[in-house]
Structure 1
């Protein structure tokens, strides 16, 4: 079963038993970056100098990607030429990317859906594991590359770069100290594994995530 980078990231972030999300803020940034990187890899979108361009509107055949491609194309159409910034798109997309990706995992039968109400009022949805085969294979790939030194193929390298950029090392290796795995993540992320457009998509995600975290930290400090 082919799953997108965003789906892989969300699978890693969901608790297998309870379905509760872990590190959802950073995962949302990484998933948005992952979908953009997927569209670049599929030849549908180009990212250069921080700007986005839709270069091919042909559907990919993947409903999650095609929904994003349609939204992105509409969004780019509202911008003046050269003003469709990747950072702006990622900021917009991160607000819905987790929900859309979780629903796609549910449609595929990889997770189940459980609905709760917090304080009897606020609805919450969790997604416990239903079919663990995809996540097991994913973790085996990451183990082979990060711990055993295997050479990553392009998609695994892209996933590792996203995890590293979003500081999500513990989602991949929850039982290992970050300092043990981070050097290998950094080595792969810095390697020559993809074209410049994919690298820009991930770089913009990382920059926007860092900017939002910095602004949040500053605001918290100011009110302390």
Structure 2
């Protein structure tokens, strides 16, 4: 795998560029990033969904340290459901991803002290080109009327599940329209379970993983 990982894309969308603070509930973001890492491994042909569990079908490293650590963990343990894995993986994941983004110069780590003794960290944007590309892909997906590529469709689905329309700078009717379009993308890719996998232009193996993870995040957030 190369470039920016899906979990990194979600995090960049969810953090304010200027303040460097999360703009959405952190538990939602943590669950979404855990799901995104698992989706990344499915896209790379490393994971599959079978009999209600996630299973490693190829243990070969992808070259992305965070994803490879998760892959090794899943391979070393007994099978678990998607719901179990998103809960097990979410703890500490955000800090690891932020550290990686800082190391690559995408965001900056600004340490401050509140009330004289509480240390807090902010992560304002350092290289806006990375997030600009992410937002452009999503904007194209929302306006083109065409089903985007697998990665963008997966990202759009995660944004829909996490109700991240405000992170796209949309409110009111525009946010509602974007929400409907995101749901259409998920359905058209076979991610939401409303379209037959035979009719999806996305690989059925990917559709199964993302649909299962979307349901797991929904359930964890109390939406189902």
Normalised-by-shorter TM-score class: 0.7 to 0.9
Deviation at 1:208, TM superposition (A): 3.3
Q: Out of 41-50 and 205-214, give the one that drifted further.
A: 205-214
* 1:186 aligns with one of 183, 188, 193: 183
Deviation of residue 51 (structure 1)? Answer: 0.3
Runs ≥4 residues deviating over 4 A: none
Which stretch of structure 1 is more off in the superposition, 27-36 or 198-207?
Answer: 198-207
Contact 2:49/2:209 (<8 A) preserved:
yes
Shift in alpha-carbon separation, 1:112–1:90, aligned structure 2, 3 A: same
Query: Matches of residues 27-42 of structure 1 in structure 2 within 5 Å?
Result: 27-42=29-44
CA distance in 2, matches of 1:208, 1:57: 24
In structure 2, what is the equivalent of residue 66 of structure 1?
68
> Following the alignment from structure 1 to structure 2, what is the Cα–Cα distance between the partners of residues 193 and 28?
29
Return 114-123 or 133-142, whichever deviates more. Answer: 114-123
TM-score (norm 2): 0.84
Q: Does 1:195 align with 2:197?
A: no
After superposition, the Cα gap between the structure-2 partners of 1:153 and 1:114, relative to the gap in structure 1 and judged at 3 Å, is: same
Instruction: Within 5 Å, give how 1:40-189 maps onto structure 2.
Output: 40-74=42-76, 76=77, 79=78, 83-174=79-170, 177-189=174-186
Contact 1:64/1:104 (<8 A) preserved: no
- Structure 2: gaps spanning 5 or more residues: 189-199
Which deviates the most, 25-34 or 7-16?
Answer: 25-34
- RCO greater where, 1 or 2, for CA within 8 Å and sep 6 or more? 1
Aligned to 2:217: 209
How many correspondences in the alignment?
A: 209
SS in 2 for 1:46: strand
Change (3 A) 1:199 1:165: farther
**Structure 1 residue 150: deviation in Å?**
4.4
Cα RMSD of the aligned pairs, angstroms, is: 2.1
Deviations 1:153-173 (A, max 9, x none): 111111001111121122224
Q: Secondary structure at the match of 2:13?
A: helix
> Deviation at 1:190?
0.6
- What TM-score, normalized to structure 1? 0.84
